Amino acid sequence: MNTTTSPGSALPGNPGAEREPFAAGSALAGNPDTYTPHDGAEGSAPEMASFFGGLSEDNRRIAETKGWDDPNKIIQSYGELESHLGRTLNVPDEGASAEDWDRLYARLGRPDSAEDYDFGLPENLPEDFPYDGESARAFASWAHEAGLNPAQAQTLHDHYVRHQAQTLDDFHAGNARREGEAYRALTQAWGPEGSEAFARNAAMANAAMRDAGEAREAMISAGLMAEDGGVRDARLALWFAKLGERFFSEDTLDGGGAGDWSDNPFAEQTLNATRQAQLIKSDPDTAISYMRAAGLANSDPQMRQARQNRR
C-alpha cells in the first residue's frame, strides 16, 4: 500500500490534498480541516475560498460581524437594505418644489384638503368665546398649509383655542378690575352710592355721555367705557359729570325740575313702579343711572331691559 502523500489537488474530496484555509485567522470559512462544502446552489468550497479570500481585512471583519458566511446572505442583506431605503422618508432640501413637499406631507398623513379636517372644541370654554365656522375654516387652512396630519392639527388647534380663551378671560377680568377701581374713586368723590350727590352726579354724567354721540362710541371701542355706560376710568365720569352740570343742570330727567334728582323711582324709599316702567321705555339711560344709584346689579331684569332698550 502506497502511503506516500501526493501533492494532490486542493479540491475537496482528494484525500491527499493539502487544503489551504480561505484566510489565516478568519472565522468566515471555518476550520479548513472540518469545512463541509455547500451544495451547488450556494457555491462550492473553491468558490467560497476565492470569494472570501479576496476580501480586505476591514471587509472580512464586516462580513464576520454580519454573519455573512456565503454570498447568498450578502445579496439577501443588500436586497433588504434597498427595500428599507425605499420606505424611508426623504426630507426635501432647500431647493425642493412645492410638489416635493406635498408628497412628503401626504406620506405623513396630511389629508387631501383643508375641508377634511374635523376639529372638536376643548372643554370648559367661556360661554361668550368667539368661535364659529369661519374660525374653524381659517385654522384648517393654516394646518393644511403647514402639512399637519389630523392628530397634529387637533393638538395645535386645542392649544390655540385654550390660549385665546385665557386671553379673553384676562380681558374680562381686567375690565372688571378697572370698573371696580373707577367705582371706588367715584364714591370717594361723590359720596356713597344711593346718596343724593351720587345720584345727581351719575345722572349728569349719563346725560352728557348720551349727548356725546360718536365720541361715546369711540370711548367704547377704545375700552374706556362698557356698552352699558360703565366707565373704566373715574376721570372720564368726573369730566362728564361736570360737562352735564354745565349743559343739563336745568333740564328734567323724569318730568320734574333739578330738585327732583333724589326722587329715585328705583330707590327703596321712593319706589314707584309706574315711573320705573316709563323711564325704562322712554329714557333707558336715565333709568340705568337711577338703578345704579339705587344699588341694582347689572344682572337685574330691569337693568337688562333698560340696556336692551337703549340699542
- The secondary structure of the chain in percent helix, strand, coil, rounded to multiples of 5, reads 55, 0, 45
In a domain, 216, yes or no: yes
How many structural domains does the chain have? Answer: 1
Give pLDDT, residue 38: 46
In a domain, 213, yes or no: yes
Give pLDDT, residue 215: 80
In a domain, 6, yes or no: no
pLDDT above 50 for 23: no
Of 52-66, 153-167, 252-266, which range is least confident?
252-266
Give pLDDT, residue 140: 92
- The DSSP result for 51-91, as a single string, is HHHTS-HHHHHHHHHHT--SHHHHHHHHHHHHHHHHHS---
At 52, which amino acid appears?
F
What do you get for the CA distance between the two ends of the chain, in Å? 130
Q: Give the separation between CA 5 and CA 2, rounded to whole angstroms.
A: 8
Q: Whose CA is closest to 154, among 166, 168, 140?
A: 140
pLDDT above 60 for 165: yes
Name the DSSP letter for residue 116.
Answer: G
Q: What's the average model confidence in pLDDT over 259-282?
A: 79
pLDDT above 80 for 263: no
In a domain, 218, yes or no: yes
Give pLDDT, residue 172: 83
Sequence-ordered list of residues with C-beta below 8 angstroms from that of 230, at least 6 positions apart, any chain: 179, 182, 298
Give pLDDT, residue 44: 57
At 158, which amino acid appears?
D
Of 48-57, 140-149, 162-171, 200-209, which range is least confident?
48-57
In a domain, 75, yes or no: no
Give pLDDT, residue 148: 92
* Average confidence score pLDDT of the chain: 75
pLDDT above 60 for 69: yes
In a domain, 131, yes or no: no
pLDDT above 80 for 9: no
Q: How many CB atoms lie within 10 A of CB 211?
A: 15
Give pLDDT, residue 269: 75
In a domain, 215, yes or no: yes
pLDDT above 50 for 170: yes
In a 13 Å sphere around the CA of 227, the CA atoms on its Cβ side amount to 9
Q: What is the pTM of this model?
A: 0.45
Give residue-wise pLDDT tens across range 215-258. 878 888 888 888 777 888 889 889 888 888 777 654 444 433 33
Give residue-wise pLDDT tens across range 100-139. 888 888 888 899 999 999 888 888 787 778 777 788 889 8
In a domain, 93, yes or no: no
- Cell numbers 350727590 correspond to what residue? 197
Q: How many CB atoms lie within 10 A of CB 284?
A: 22
Q: How many CB atoms lie within 10 A of CB 55?
A: 16
pLDDT above 60 for 276: yes
Cell representation of residue 233 = 376710568
pLDDT above 90 for 144: yes
State the Rg of the chain over Cα: 45
Its domain, for residue 294, covers 169-309
Confidence tier at 80 by pLDDT (50, 70, 90):
low
